[in-house]
């Protein structure tokens, strides 16, 4: 062995990503992992995985389930391990060094997977098994795994000719680069902008908001100041409460212009190229549009089905929003305002109108929605529904001092999972809220317990004060915890079917369904306590909060559905139609009659769901598709007369939360509910079945 290769061997053996982790429950030793460890670890992981796949491909034995499908499930363990740690840091605690590595890793990852997913010999083995699947004596889960494995390879182009495969490989690599660039640009715009709040700039802002603004300044090394950032948890309460119209306009325009500023972070050209390459992918695979390709492998199946649902919701939502707009304009006039309602005014005047009509505003309830208490509430609901318990662990390594960890035990008292909560906004974290994992549950070679993560961007309390949540923040916490439970309660054998490995338009069911418990009186009466006095949420305020929930639903539904419709149009119309992204956006909004006073929830240049990767491309509608199910599903508990009814909770656990992707989602839903979902449940929940006047 040469001196150089000996040094390389020593470096690899010292790399914490390549060693067995001597940590509690074999968790990642974050303090030991440095940016320079990732590229060598990825190279080793790519090599190991390629060798494992080559062994399966060239196995001289006739293909059977074990030597082909199960062997594939066992392959790539090191790659999964390294990737999980790396992408957690990219999203939740990045650094310039990590982001540079990400630029290198993302196309390299595509270059690794392309020859695997397009391997004709390997696909031949899988196809042979798929063809005779009925005679293989497989369990239900094995049959599902074989079907999903065959579909995944087929849809990746494994059956194409060599020229088409070569082009697909080029496209995949380029798309990986573009998705990474899109997210880096968005993070760059968010990091570079803040607005300082001088003493004269704080009119209408609550003490808790100002405290959070000071904490945000501290986080950015601007001690002694108070700032608004482009985190949604900073922007939305500012727009809702600031009486300075000029500052509302400034913040709103900065927020909606992310990725669209003509600077180094501009995403317009990136979007144009992504759409062109996605269209080419669809054509190579024999589909008329990218949406048709993506939706074939979903519950919805077709763009027409998606459009049908969205338009069914759009009409009553738009009617409600227009009625609300007129009411807001009347309020402005009544107050002597000599201006027309603009998009940066909506939240401010909607809050005033809600105070007048429902005698409720978010700032009244926020002191009762303490982050720690809402975490306890989410845990308590899970305990009452599913028998799991949570105990905080201080000995598990984390990637940032703010991250907390809990051990999750099952009804039998045995270890079930670890749950990581990373709740606060910081410059190193991308915006939004999400669930992911450092390790997925499986039982292929012994019980493997999952390591599940929730990441949010809540505003931190200043000077040691507790963090207070808006009702929307509290709902987000329960939403992400619902995803978390989907991962933690998973009880399947094969890693590819674990936890949230389900159709995109089914994956939001467990999360959105869990939101229902957050706003129930039984939960709020127990856990909503004033952060200073410990006083329980007064009955009168609780009643006003519950009564006000359907207020402004026209606005909320319009900003979401319009985003979902624009996503669908981007991926059903020819890519050439969107060469000018702003013009395309405007044309589509005019076509649907978008109220000028409401903007998309995600304008294209900041629409990370569909452009940072392809997971939600043509699939942003999924939240609404799932909401049809979640509104209907919670009805099962209401019909039982107990939101913690044990029999209903057991069906929910067995058929939805623990089954992962091991069952067809429609079959899983019907098993839980006893029937298919009733579509109007969504409109009823949002209060959109009544006429605008009745609301």
For 263-311, what is each residue's pLDDT tens digit? 999 999 999 999 999 999 999 999 999 999 999 999 999 999 999 999 9
Q: What is the pTM of this model?
A: 0.92
CA distance 430 to 184: 9
What tokens appear for 487 in the block? 């991962």
What pLDDT is attached to residue 272? 98
The confidence band for 360, taking pLDDT boundaries of 50, 70 and 90, is confident
What pLDDT is attached to residue 695? 35
Identify any residues that bridge with 558 across adjacent strands, giving them in sequence order.
Answer: none
What pLDDT is attached to residue 357? 84
The confidence band for 5, taking pLDDT boundaries of 50, 70 and 90, is low
What pLDDT is attached to residue 8? 57
3-state secondary structure of 393: strand
What tokens appear for 384 in the block? 């009452």
Residue 578: φ, ψ to 5°: -115, 30
What average pLDDT is seen over the chain?
94
Structural contact between residues 597 and 647, judged by C-beta atoms closer than 8 angstroms: no
**Distance of alpha carbon 144 from its chain centroid, rounded?**
25
CA distance 277 to 296: 19
pLDDT digits (tens, 9 = 90+) for 533-591: 999 999 999 999 988 888 899 999 999 999 999 999 999 999 999 999 999 999 999 99
pLDDT digits (tens, 9 = 90+) for 487-508: 999 999 999 999 999 999 999 9
What tokens appear for 175 in the block? 């798309």
Residue 2 in this model has a pLDDT that exceeds 70: no
**Which residues 6+ apart lie within 8 Å of 326 measured at CB?**
none
* Higher pLDDT, residue 462 or 369: 369
What pLDDT is attached to residue 9? 59
The residue count for the chain: 695
Structural contact between residues 92 and 30, judged by C-beta atoms closer than 8 angstroms: no
3-state secondary structure of 19: coil
Residue with tokens 């494995």: 149
CATH number for region 370-527+623-685: 1.10.1370.40
Residue with tokens 């300075």: 244
Q: What are the strands of the beta sheet with 434-439, ordered from one edge?
A: 389-393, 404-409, 415-424, 451-458, 434-439
The fold adopted by the segment(s) 3-159 is: 1.10.1370
CA distance 427 to 231: 9
Beta strands in 58-211 (DSSP E): 195-196
Please compute the mean of the pLDDT values over residues 422-442 and round it to a whole number. Answer: 95
**What is residue 577's DSSP assignment?**
G
Residue 396 in this model has a pLDDT that exceeds 80: yes
* Least trusted range by pLDDT, from 39-43, 127-131, 621-625: 621-625
Angle, to 10 degrees, between the axis of helix 504-518 and the axis of helix 622-640? 50
Please compute the mean of the pLDDT values over residues 215-236 and round it to a whole number. Answer: 93
Residue 692 in this model has a pLDDT that exceeds 70: no
What pLDDT is attached to residue 359? 84
* Start and end residues for every CATH 1.10.1370.40 domain found in the chain: 3-159, 370-527+623-685
The confidence band for 679, taking pLDDT boundaries of 50, 70 and 90, is confident
What pLDDT is attached to residue 557? 95
* Residues that are catalytic: 480
Please compute the mean of the pLDDT values over residues 240-259 and round it to a whole number. Answer: 97
Structural contact between residues 609 and 432, judged by C-beta atoms closer than 8 angstroms: no
CA distance 498 to 160: 29
What pLDDT is attached to residue 463? 79
Share of the chain above pLDDT 70, in %: 97
Structural contact between residues 669 and 656, judged by C-beta atoms closer than 8 angstroms: yes
Please compute the mean of the pLDDT values over residues 454-477 and round it to a whole number. Answer: 92
What pLDDT is attached to residue 693? 41
Secondary structure element (H or E) that encloses residue 531, with its range: none
């Amino acid at each position: 062995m040469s001196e150089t290769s000996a040094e390389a061997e020593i470096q690899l053996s010292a790399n914490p990503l390549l060693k067995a982790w001597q940590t509690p429950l074999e968790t990642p030793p974050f303090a030991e992992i440095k940016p320079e460890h990732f590229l060598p670890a990825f190279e080793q992981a790519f090599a190991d995985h390629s060798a494992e796949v080559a062994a399966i491909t060239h196995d001289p034995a006739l293909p059977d389930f074990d030597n082909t499908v199960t062997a594939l499930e066992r392959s790539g363990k090191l790659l999964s391990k390294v990737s999980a740690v790396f992408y957690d840091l990219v999203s939740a605690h990045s650094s310039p060094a990590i982001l540079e590595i990400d630029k290198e890793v993302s196309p390299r990852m595509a270059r690794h997977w392309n020859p695997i997913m397009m391997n004709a010999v390997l696909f031949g083995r899988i196809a042979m098994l798929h063809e005779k699947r009925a005679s293989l004596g497989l369990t239900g889960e094995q049959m599902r795994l074989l079907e999903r494995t065959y579909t995944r390879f087929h849809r990746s182009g494994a059956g194409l000719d060599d020229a088409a495969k070569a082009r697909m490989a080029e496209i995949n690599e380029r798309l990986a680069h573009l998705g990474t660039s899109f997210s880096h640009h968005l993070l760059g715009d968010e990091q570079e902008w803040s607005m300082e709040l001088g003493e004269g700039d704080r009119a209408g802002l609550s003490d808790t908001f100002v405290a959070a603004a000071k904490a945000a300044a501290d986080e950015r090394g601007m001690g002694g100041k108070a700032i608004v950032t482009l985190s949604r948890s900073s922007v939305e309460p500012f727009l809702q409460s600031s009486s300075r119209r000029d500052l509302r306009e400034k913040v709103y325009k900065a927020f909606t212009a992310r990725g669209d500023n003509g600077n180094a972070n501009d995403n317009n050209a990136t979007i144009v190229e992504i759409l062109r390459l996605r269209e080419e992918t669809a054509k190579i695979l024999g589909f008329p549009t990218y949406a048709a390709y993506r939706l074939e492998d979903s519950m919805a199946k077709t763009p027409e089905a998606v459009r049908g649902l969205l338009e069914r919701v759009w009409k009553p939502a738009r009617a409600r929003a227009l009625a609300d707009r007129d009411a807001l304009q009347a309020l402005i006039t009544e107050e002597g305002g000599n201006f027309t309602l603009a998009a940066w005014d909506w939240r401010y005047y909607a809050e005033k109108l809600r105070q007048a009509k429902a005698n409720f505003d978010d700032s009244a309830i926020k002191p009762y929605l303490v982050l720690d208490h809402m975490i306890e509430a989410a845990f308590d609901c899970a305990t009452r529904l599913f028998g799991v318990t949570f105990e905080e662990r201080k000995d598990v390594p984390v990637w940032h001092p703010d991250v907390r960890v809990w051990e999750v035990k099952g009804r039998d008292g045995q270890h079930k999972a670890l749950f990581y909560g990373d709740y606060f906004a910081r410059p190193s974290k991308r915006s939004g809220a999400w669930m992911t994992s450092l390790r997925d549950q499986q039982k292929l070679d012994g019980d493997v317990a999952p390591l599940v993560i929730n990441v949010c961007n809540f505003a931190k309390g200043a000077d040691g004060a507790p963090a207070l949540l808006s009702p929307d923040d509290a709902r987000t916490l329960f939403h992400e915890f619902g995803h978390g439970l989907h991962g933690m309660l998973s009880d399947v054998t094969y890693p590819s079917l674990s936890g949230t490995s389900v159709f995109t338009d089914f994956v939001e069911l467990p999360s959105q369904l869990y939101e229902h418990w957050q706003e129930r009186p039984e939960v709020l009466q127990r856990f909503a306590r004033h952060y200073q006095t410990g006083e329980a949420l007064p009955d009168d305020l609780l009643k006003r909060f519950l009564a006000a929930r359907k207020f402004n639903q026209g606005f909320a539904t319009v900003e979401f559905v319009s985003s979902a419709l624009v996503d669908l149009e981007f991926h059903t119309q020819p890519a050439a139609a969107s060469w000018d992204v702003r013009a395309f956006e405007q044309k589509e909004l005019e076509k649907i009659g978008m109220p000028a006073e409401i903007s998309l929830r995600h304008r294209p240049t900041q629409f990370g769901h569909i452009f940072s990767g392809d997971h939600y491309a043509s699939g942003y509608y999924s939240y609404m598709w799932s909401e049809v199910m979640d509104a209907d599903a919670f009805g099962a508990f209401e019909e039982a007369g107990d939101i913690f009814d044990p029999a209903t909770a057991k069906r929910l656990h067995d058929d939805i939360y623990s089954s992962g992707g091991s069952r067809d989602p429609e079959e899983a839903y019907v098993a839980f509910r006893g029937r298919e979902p009733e579509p109007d449940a969504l409109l009823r929940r949002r209060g959109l079945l009544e006429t605008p006047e009745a609301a």
